[in-house]
Structure formats: structure tokens, C-alpha cells
């Protein structure tokens, strides 16, 4: 599920045309959201056309609310109108929403066509571009309809981060913190040491973060591509996080939901005597320092979140299994499929206690993006 070629370097976007031309495809549909299309769509289109390939740019409205079957259908119909054939290529230029959505188009269009990913958000660069997961959300669940589809190439151009809104930069840092939390304490320590440079968008620091996180995720995917075991660790923070996204009608951004979810699941792990005491507080301190939320809006209760988690893909047989850590940098559950079952009342009590103690952090509404 990992790409044949990876380009994490300055001016990577300019090389898009050469990379796509090297795949021997007949034509290309570039998919971007309405924000990114305006900023980088012409550069991507120009690069592919300059390499001698017919190409079109198709945009959809930015935001998680577009990651639906309806947008997927509209994009596939548009690709057909534009004459994309079995020998065509979909190029996704954008954040995680675009990568997942355009990736799902590529996975399903004529039973699968070539896919090239150009992540432009930090979250896309550190996480969503790696591992071949594509899909869309439904009312019943986050990423409920999806497919695994290997991208042929991934291009990361750090220059595009210059236009990324501050809140989006932080959302990417949340997934990078996750990589540290699940297997590399040094990554977390490095993020803390380089916090000023990262938040100040120093290119060298951001490039190193992307390289580190991409290497972490690629190693996990290479070891367990089909999530029979170790890959489940990447879901740390996501059982509660996905429930929060669904509860807020997908208005709570994914990175923010994962930040809240990691602290919540560390607390659940502590209550279940799986996770070292103090881990939730330590993660909350790191995430708060990065400007990320660590508790949901005040109207969300533990009871709201946990029944929702029952319909998550990670729930097996109606009982909730969590990807947990023993302590920062050390995963739990190596003997039980890398997930741990926690009785629902233990989880519910620990969240109720955690969020009651976070009253001050819970005054912001999801409509205002929480942070």
C-alpha cells in the first residue's frame, strides 16, 4: 500500500508533471478542494500539461462536509465526462479530505485507476498520504465507505505550508504527536524542543517533522498493511475522536478530535490499569502547548460519546476495543491484536471524571473550530 516513488523536497510540485508522465498514463484528472484549487490548482495543471499530458482540474467545496458519497459520485461522473479511461490517472492535491475522497474515486473508478497524492496540509503530509486508506463519511460513521488503494507516487512540497491556516498546522501536529505517543518517545520530545520552530513554520523543522512522521507511519503500514495487528495502533485517539466528529456533525476538525481523543483514551487506559498513571496529563500538557484542545465542547458528555463508539469499525462484537499505550512511546496490547477491551462503565466513568475536571477548556463551540 506504499507508493513506488516518494518526493519530499523543495519544488516537488513543479516535478508533478514528470512524475505523472513517468507512469505512462493517458490523461489526468486533478482533484482539489475549492481553497487549494485556487492556490495550487494552476501550478499542478500547468506542470502536468507541460509534460505533454492532457489534464483537467476539478474542484469540490472545501471541508469535511464534502467527504461524502454524493461528492464521490459527482467527481466520478465528472471524470467520465472528461474522458478519463482505465489508463487514466487521478491526482489528489489537498488536505486529508481531498486525499481520502479523490483516492476513493481512483480506487473505484473503472475498478481502479492510477493515483498520485500531493498532500498540502500538514495532516496530509504527516499522516493521510501514507498507507492507502481512502473513503468517505456517512451519517452512520466516519470513513464508513472506503477502500484500500495504493498511490503510485506521493509528492510533498513544503512551500505550500506557507498558506496553511494556523489552526490547520496544529491539526497536523496532533497526528505527529500520536506517532510519538504510540511508538517513539523521542519524537514527542523532539516536537516539544522544536515547538517554536514548528509553530513559527520554519521550513527545515516542518520538513524534518514530515520525514519523521512519514517514516513512522510507513514502517507500521509496511509491517501490517491490512490492519491485522500492529496497524491498529494508528487508531490511538481515534475511537473517541471519530465519535466526536460524528456527534458534532463533522464540524469538529479531525486533528482537534484526535487531540481530545488521545487524552481521553489515555485516561481510559489509566482507569483500566493498562496505561501508566499521569500519561493523560502529560499528553494534555504537550497538546495544550501546541494550541490544541484536550476536551470537547461542554455539551458533549461521556454518555454521548461511548454508545457512538459502539458503531465504530474498531468495535468487534458490540464491545469496544481501544488502541491504547502502556506509556508514552510504548504501545499496549501486543498480545491481544494491539487493541485492549475496556468495560464500557470503566471508560464512561473515566471520561466523565476527565471532562468534569476540564470545565474551563470546554467553553468553545465546535462551530468556531474549538481552537
Q: Residue 168 catalytic?
A: no
Q: Residue 254 catalytic?
A: yes
CA-based nearest residue to 90, from 17, 4, 31, 150: 31
Q: Per rule CB under 6 A, is residue 230 in the interface with ligand NAD?
A: no
Residue closer to ligand NAD (CB basis): 255 or 331:
255
Q: Site map for ligand NAD, 103-122, x if CB under 6 A?
A: -----------------xx-
Q: Per the residue annotation, which of 67, 168, 179, 235 is the catalytic one?
A: 235
Give the β-pairing of 153-156 and 141-148: unpaired
- One residue of 3, 17, 88, 94 binding ligand NAD per CB under 6 A: 94
Q: Per rule CB under 6 A, is residue 171 in the interface with ligand NAD?
A: yes
Q: Residue 7 catalytic?
A: no
Q: Residue 27 catalytic?
A: no
Q: Per rule CB under 6 A, is residue 173 in the interface with ligand NAD?
A: no
Q: Per rule CB under 6 A, is residue 243 in the interface with ligand NAD?
A: no
- One residue of 3, 17, 124, 241 binding ligand NAD per CB under 6 A: 124
Q: How far apart are CA 150 and CA 132, in angstroms?
A: 5
Alpha carbon distance, N-terminus to C-terminus of the chain: 34
Q: Per the residue annotation, which of 242, 246, 321, 348 is the catalytic one?
A: 242
Total number of residues binding ligand NAD (CB under 6 A)?
30
Q: How far apart are CA 164 and CA 129, in angstroms?
A: 17
CA 81 to chain centre: 30
Residue closer to ligand NAD (CB basis): 12 or 128:
128
Q: Per the residue annotation, which of 175, 230, 245, 265 is the catalytic one?
A: 175
Q: How far apart are CA 54 and CA 64, in angstroms?
A: 29
**Beta-carbon count within 10 A of 59 CB:** 19
DSSP label at residue 231: G
Q: Per the residue annotation, which of 227, 230, 245, 270 is the catalytic one?
A: 227
Joined together, the cell numbers standing for residue 349 give 466513568
Which of these ranges, 42-50, 59-67, 76-84, 358-366, lies near ligand NAD under the rule CB under 6 A? 59-67
Q: Per the residue annotation, which of 142, 238, 246, 321 is the catalytic one?
A: 238
Q: How far apart are CA 229 and CA 277, in angstroms?
A: 25
For 187-199, give the DSSP string.
HHHHHHHTHHHHH
181: left (phi over 0), alpha (psi -120 to 50) or beta: alpha
Q: Site map for ligand NAD, 125-164, x if CB under 6 A?
A: --xx--x-x---------x----------------x--xx
Under 8 Å CB-to-CB from 369, ≥6 apart: which residues? 167, 252, 253, 256
Residue closer to ligand NAD (CB basis): 27 or 246:
246
- One residue of 36, 214, 305, 325 binding ligand NAD per CB under 6 A: 36
Cα 230 to Cα 26, 109, 222: the distances in Å are: 38, 30, 10
Q: Residue 111 catalytic?
A: yes
Helix (H) or strand (E) holding 305: helix 302-309
Interacting residue ranges for ligand NAD, rule: CB under 6 A: 33, 35-36, 39, 62-64, 67, 94-98, 100, 120-121, 123-124, 127-128, 131, 133, 143, 160, 163-164, 168, 171, 254-255
User: Which residue numbers are catalytic?
Assistant: 111, 133, 175, 217, 227, 231, 235, 238, 242, 254
Amino acid at each position: 500500500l506504499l507508493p513506488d516513488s516518494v518526493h519530499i523536497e523543495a519544488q516537488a510540485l513543479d516535478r508533478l508533471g514528470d512524475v505523472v508522465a513517468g507512469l505512462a498514463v493517458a490523461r489526468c484528472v486533478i482533484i482539489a478542494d475549492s481553497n487549494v484549487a485556487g492556490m495550487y490548482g494552476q501550478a499542478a495543471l500547468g506542470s502536468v500539461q507541460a509534460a505533454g499530458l492532457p489534464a483537467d482540474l476539478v474542484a469540490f467545496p472545501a471541508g469535511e462536509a464534502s467527504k461524502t458519497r454524493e461528492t464521490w459520485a459527482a467527481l466520478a461522473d465528472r471524470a467520465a465526462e472528461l474522458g478519463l479511461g482505465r489508463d487514466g490517472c487521478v491526482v489528489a492535491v489537498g488536505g486529508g479530505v481531498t486525499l481520502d475522497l479523490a483516492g476513493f474515486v481512483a480506487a473505484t473508478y473503472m475498478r481502479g485507476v492510477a493515483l498520485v497524492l500531493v498532500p498540502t496540509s500538514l495532516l496530509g503530509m504527516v499522516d493521510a498520504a501514507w498507507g492507502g486508506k481512502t473513503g468517505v463519511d456517512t451519517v452512520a460513521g466516519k470513513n464508513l465507505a472506503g477502500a484500500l488503494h495504493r498511490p503510485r507516487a506521493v509528492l510533498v512540497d513544503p512551500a505550500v505550508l506557507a498558506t496553511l491556516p494556523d489552526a490547520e498546522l496544529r491539526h497536523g501536529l496532533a497526528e505527529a504527536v500520536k506517532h510519538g505517543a504510540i511508538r517513539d518517545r523521542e519524537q514527542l520530545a523532539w516536537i516539544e524542543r522544536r515547538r517554536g520552530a514548528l509553530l513559527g513554520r520554519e521550513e527545515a523543522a516542518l520538513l524534518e517533522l514530515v520525514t519523521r512522521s512519514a517514516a513512522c507511519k510507513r514502517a507500521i503500514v509496511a509491517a501490517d498493511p491490512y490492519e491485522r495487528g500492529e496497524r491498529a495502533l494508528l487508531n490511538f485517539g481515534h475511537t473517541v475522536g471519530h465519535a466526536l466528529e460524528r456527534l458534532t456533525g463533522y464540524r469538529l476538525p479531525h486533528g482537534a478530535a484526535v487531540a481530545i481523543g488521545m487524552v481521553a483514551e489515555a485516561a481510559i487506559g489509566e482507569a483500566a490499569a493498562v496505561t501508566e498513571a499521569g500519561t493523560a496529563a502529560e499528553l494534555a500538557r504537550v497538546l495544550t502547548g501546541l494550541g490544541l484542545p484536550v476536551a470537547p465542547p461542554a455539551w458533549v458528555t461521556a454518555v454521548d460519546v461511548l454508545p457512538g463508539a459502539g458503531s465504530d469499525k474498531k468495535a468487534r462484537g458490540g464491545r469496544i476495543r481501544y488502541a491504547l499505550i502502556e506509556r508514552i512511546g510504548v504501545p499496549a496490547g501486543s498480545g491481544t491484536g494491539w487493541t485492549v477491551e475496556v468495560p464500557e462503565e470503566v471508560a464512561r466513568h473515566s471520561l466523565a471524571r476527565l471532562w468534569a475536571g476540564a470545565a474551563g477548556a470546554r467553553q468553545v463551540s465546535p462551530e468556531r473550530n474549538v481552537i
